[in-house]
Structure formats: C-alpha cells, structure tokens
Structure 1
Amino acid sequence: MDNTASSFRRKNPLTDEWVLVSPQRNNRPWHGATEAIQNDDLAQHDANCPLCPGNQRANGAVNPHFETTFVFNNDFAALAQTRSDVSNHNDLFIQESAVGEARVMCFSPTHNRSLPRMSEDALHAVVKTWCAQYKELSQRYCCVQIFENKGEIMGCSQPHPHGQIWAHEHLSTEVEKEDRAQANYFKKHGSAMLSDYAAREALNAKRVVLQNAHWLVVVPYWAKWPFETMLISLDNAPDFTHLTSASTLALAKTIKQLTSKYDNLFKCSFPYSMGWHNAPSQRTQLSHWVMHAHFYPPLLRSASVKKHMVGYEMLGESQRDLTPELAAQILRDCPEQHYLDNTSISKCGE
C-alpha cells in the first residue's frame, strides 16, 4: 500500500478505536486560525505566580522555599473525599459517587524551567516523586492518574513547570478500556499486549523515536495526534512501584531527550498533554499490564498551527494527515540537545 497516496484506517488495540489516516491531504494549503506562540522569556521567579517558592496561593496558603519538587493538595480539587448519596432507578440516568484526591506537583522551584530545560538529576527527582506519590496513593485508591498539561494551548493556566496527580476509587474511562483490552489480549495470547507491541516496534524501527535498555518511545501505529508518542516500559513494569533505580534514571534521561526533541521541532516550548497509565492498584493479577505514558501534542505544521479535533473527529472518528512513520522520522531527526543550549541547531528538516 502506498501510504502517501491512499487513505486507510488503523485500529488502536488498547481502546478498540479506529483512526482514519489521509496522507494525501498533508500538503493542502492552510488558511485557518493560528495560535499565539507561548512566551519563553520568563523570569526565574515570578512574584505573582502561585506556584513559585515563598509565594501565596489563592486560598491564602504560602508555599515553602522548596529547592526540588513540591507537592500539595490542589486548592481547587476536582475530586472530593466525602461520599455523595447516590440512588439510581433508571438505566438512562446513572450516577455514582466519585471519591478521591487531587494534588499539584511543582517539578522545579525555577519558574522558567520546563522539563527539557531541567538537568537529568532534577528530572530524576521528578521521577522519584512520581514513584513516591503513586506508592502512597495507590494504597488507598484503585486509579492514580499522573499527568501534565503544558502550554496555554492545552489549557494550562500557569507557566510554572508543574503537573497534577488525581487519585480515585473508580477506574477512569481510558484506563478501564485499556485494562479490558490488555486482559483480553493476555487471555488469547498468553503474553502482555504492550510487551509484544514494543518488541515488534523495536524490530521494525520505522516508528521508533528513542530507545534504551529500559524504555521505548514510539509514535504509535494508531496515533491520532500529529506528533503523538507513547513511552513504554521495556522491563514490563506494571506500575511505578516496580521500577528499579536503573529504570528511574533511564526514564529521567528519556524524558529529557524526548521533550528536547519536541521543543527543537518548531523551536518553541512545545505544548502537550501527557499522562501515565499504570495497572489498576490493589490487584493480584498484573501480568497483562505494562506501564506507559501517552504524549498528546496538538501542533501540526508550526509553533502556531494546531490540529483541531472537530467535525468528523468529534462525530465520526479521529483523523490525521501525517503518517505515524513520517512523524517518527521527523522526531528522530530532531537533535536531543535543546535548541536554547546550542545556537547552531536549525529547525528540524532544514
């Protein structure tokens, strides 16, 4: 099949959803809206930022003068720890209580240091904090979602480098779908879906962006966002509690390399939503699960052109113009040294 002239569909086995790929549309002229490019010229400390060390937050709490990562309960949490009274009497109107906790995690005390601009030691501290938070919260909650929204284009209201941790008793919809699909695959094949997938992607290499002894970064075969990637544990770890010191060190390096490539792609602070999917906690059977992170960046052609999921994507199924193979090649070709650290780096593809 000529992947540059024909449209085709690919199925995501983790969610049982399809993606329409239309590479013949990739060179069409663009006359749509453009986004403002995020300002990278930020101070190291912003007196008005509620996430900077020593500053006061909206609820009156004052941040400590932290020197590494800092985690606190979200002042405007989306989850409550009190259980609501629920009674369902109709299959069309179903409600259940959602009990949990929401936390904010500052990656760094420095206001203008996003993940790719941090040292590997500082990133290792981030990874170890993820591990510690997951270990604590997974004792009480079935589902622990660790994620980051980066950039105004992704709805992030604060430029200070930070992520969030939401933990709750219920399985989130995406985790539930992935849990079911991986369990079904394991029952049929006797092996973990993402372990088999990672092995085949590493062998094929067309969609691989980065790889080391512990982690694989790939543009998924079924990717729906233009430069979407998935970061998969090659140690077949089901969750953060199973990571070794070697794998946490390797993860810190991998995140720096990947996010630097993202920034180098369009020479901007590259926006994305990313998050970790761990095996549901408090389970005795974890053989079907391999932990992984999804990176969903919205940029399509430049720092100011966004991929919009509208129309057919909202009413039919996801659609993309750039093939995953070409997206992976473009990301592979991007340098791993951040463009702000090396003025000789040109835009990828030039």
Structure 2
Amino acid sequence: MEEPVSVFQPTDHQHIRYNPLHDDWVLVSAHRMKRPWQGQLEKPPEENIPRHDDKNPLCPGAQRAGGQVNPDYEETFVFENDFPALQPAAPDPGPSEHPLLQAKSARGICQVMCFHPWSDITLPLMSLQEVRAVIDKWAEINTDLGATYPWVQIFENKGAMMGCSNPHPHCQIWASNFLPNEAQTEDRTQREYLRTHGAPMLLEYGRLEEERKERVVLSNEDWLVVVPYWAVWPFQTLLLPRRHVTRLQDLRHEERDSLASIMRRLLCKYDNLFEVSFPYSMGWHGAPTGCHLTEDCSHWQLHAHYYPPLLRSASVRKFLVGYEMLAQAQRDLTAEQAAERLRNLPEEHYKLRPSQEPRRPDTE
C-alpha cells in the first residue's frame, strides 16, 4: 500500500532557496528547531559599560595605541585605523609565476568612525538627530574615499560575539583599489538581471516583497526592511530604499531622515528580541566608485545587509561550520518565521520602557 504524498510545508519540509544576489543556494531545514539544544552557550554581553574610560582608545580625549590623542569630540569622530589591513602604498607583487599562484596589488585606506562620545550607548538608544549625523558622515566618507578608490566598504561589527573588541559605538571603513569578492558577485548578478529582465534586481525584489508582505519587518515612505527569502543567518535582514538609488551619497535629505528612523526601529526590535544588546555584522553595498563613477551603474540598488548570529536566545548562536563551510549555507527556521517574530516585537527599546529607568533622555 502506497503512503500518501505529503503536501509541502516550508516549516516542516527541508528545501533549498536560491539567492539571486549571490548566485548560490541555501538549505532551509526549519524542522530542526524542534530538536533539543545541547550546544555551546555564549556569555551574555556586558551591560555595565562605563560612559567614559580614559583607557578606552575610542573615547574622547583618550590616547590610542600609536600615541595619538583623540579630540574631545561631541558627535561623530573619524580617524585612520592604527592597525590597518590596507595601506595606500605597497609594492606590486609583479607578474604571477603560475595561474595557480596568482597575486595582485592591494592598496587602500582603513578608517574607524565613532558614532557617539559615550561608550554606554548604541545606535538604537541614540536620538534620531544623532543617527542622522552618522548617516551623513557615512555619505561624506563614501564621497571622499570614493573619488579615489573603486570600493568603499562601510561595516559595523557589534558585540564580542561578532569579534568586536571594543564596546564603544563605532564602525569601520575600508577603501580598496580592487573590488572585493562580494562586490564583484553582486555587480555581476545585478548587471545580468537588468540585462535579462529590464529592471534593477533589488528594486524589483523590494516591490515584490511589499506586495507579499510575509517577509516584511518594517517599512516607511522611503525604506523597506525584509528578511530576505534567501536569508542564511537566523534573523538576517535586508534594508532597501524604495526609490532607485545607487550610492549612499545620492540619498535625499528626507530619505536620510527616514533612514535614521527605520534603522533605529529595526535595531530596537533586534535588542528587544532577546532583551540584550543584539550582536550583528552589518554593511552597506552600493555601486562601485573611483574609476567607475562615470560608468553606467544603473543595475545597482543601494542596500544594507544585517547578519546577526543569535538563534534561540541571548546565549545560543548560529554557527556556520561543517556543512556550511564545506557544502552550502543552511538555516534552521524559515525567513517567514523570522520576519513574523521581528515584525511582532515592540519598537520601544526594552531599556526605555516605563518600568525601566531611562539611560538618557531622547533629544529628538
């Protein structure tokens, strides 16, 4: 006697989903969330961080490793990384001796940008004006470094779980004379999509998600936050402008205001998920700059990726090891399940609820 054929349910049956931006696939195995957890428990993030520490090299007035003393900054502060991965002057490796042993020049500049003078504050606890100042500085840096370098990577590693060694709110900017792997892939896939379908990939994708709504976490008049259909990290999100925009510096005044708002709303939801300062790596991707500034980059759509590692609680993270490293990415809950959980969370930060003593007044 034949067994009845099951009706496919994405939350019960494993399947693979295509990521058109990276041209690869992710294995979705949501039924694995039913298994008991016996894995590693992470130490919760430190909460009692001093507002100012003279020994913290990112604080105003503190001395850094190279001997430089920070100014008594009151807003954002940008300086050259004291231990840069890229430097503007380096010898060329010369011709490669074999196709299996290739090397090319790598030059660039690395900067650190402090978001705020206080160490005990993060972006979701900053005022809208303070978040907007961060966005304006990002756009300014992208313009300045982008005049010379073809790729400017703005990224934030938040939390020790993501390798951040300093709790002071900050990000990094690496500008390079080459397009990194992720940039090359996204450039190729978006170019091919425009050529084949006649519309920018992520602009069309954003409109598709708006229509379906099942993976939308947040939206406002200018921006959309979704858990992408092809997400790898448990609560990964993609931040997209509604208008066709290729680079950060092309954002209008009102789009920067609404970006500050939706960023803060998203990060409040992240923190509220497990009531902890939520760790993540995030970064902006936009059209290449430098020598590419005069090229047609209409296939690009500006976007930001958020990759948070937490899976079940503040102490249980997702590891990309084993199968993920040797075969392909795999996730343990569907994008739709993750989006629903984030969507239903309050937008008022858990530290600022009436039952809590506010850490600082909001100066919006």
Matches within 5 A, 1:1-350: 1-86=8-93, 87-281=95-289, 282-283=292-293, 284-343=295-354
* Count of equivalent residues: 345
Amino acid in structure 2 at the alignment position of 1:336:
E
Amino acid in structure 2 at the alignment position of 1:62:
V
Runs of 4+ residues deviating >6 angstroms: none
CA drift at 1:85: 2.3
The percentage of aligned residue pairs carrying the same residue is 50
1:102 and 1:54 map into 2 onto residues whose CA distance is 21
1:19 and 1:216 map into 2 onto residues whose CA distance is 23
Q: Deviations over 1:244-275 (max 9, x none)?
A: 00011111111100010000000000000000
* Greater mean alpha carbon deviation, residues 233-242 or residues 90-99: 233-242
Match of 2:362 in 1: none
Highest CA radius of gyration, 1 or 2?
A: 2
Give the structure-1-normalised TM-score: 0.97
Give the structure-2-normalised TM-score: 0.93
2:155 counterpart SS class: strand
Match of 1:348 in 2: none
Amino acid in structure 2 at the alignment position of 1:6:
H
1:206 and 1:238 map into 2 onto residues whose CA distance is 26
CA drift at 1:286: 1.6
Please, which runs of 5 or more residues in structure 2 have no aligned partner?
A: 1-7, 357-364
Amino acid in structure 2 at the alignment position of 1:32:
G
1:54 and 1:233 map into 2 onto residues whose CA distance is 37
CA drift at 1:197: 0.2
CA drift at 1:84: 1.8
| Preserved contact between residue 222 and residue 258 of structure 2 (Cα < 8 Å) | yes
Amino acid in structure 1 at the alignment position of 2:352:
D
1:84 and 1:207 map into 2 onto residues whose CA distance is 48
Q: Deviations over 1:198-224 (max 9, x none)?
A: 000011000000111111100000000
Amino acid in structure 2 at the alignment position of 1:55:
A
Q: Deviations over 1:14-55 (max 9, x none)?
A: 011100000111111001111100112212111221000000
| Preserved contact between residue 191 and residue 299 of structure 2 (Cα < 8 Å) | yes
CA drift at 1:344: 5.3
1:204 and 1:40 map into 2 onto residues whose CA distance is 39
2:31 counterpart SS class: helix
2:354 and 2:318 map into 1 onto residues whose CA distance is 28
Amino acid in structure 2 at the alignment position of 1:44:
R
CA drift at 1:83: 3.1
Please, which runs of 5 or more residues in structure 1 have no aligned partner?
A: 346-350
CA drift at 1:163: 0.1
2:46 and 2:96 map into 1 onto residues whose CA distance is 49
1:125 and 1:316 map into 2 onto residues whose CA distance is 42
CA drift at 1:5: 1.4
1:231 counterpart SS class: strand
1:83 and 1:13 map into 2 onto residues whose CA distance is 36
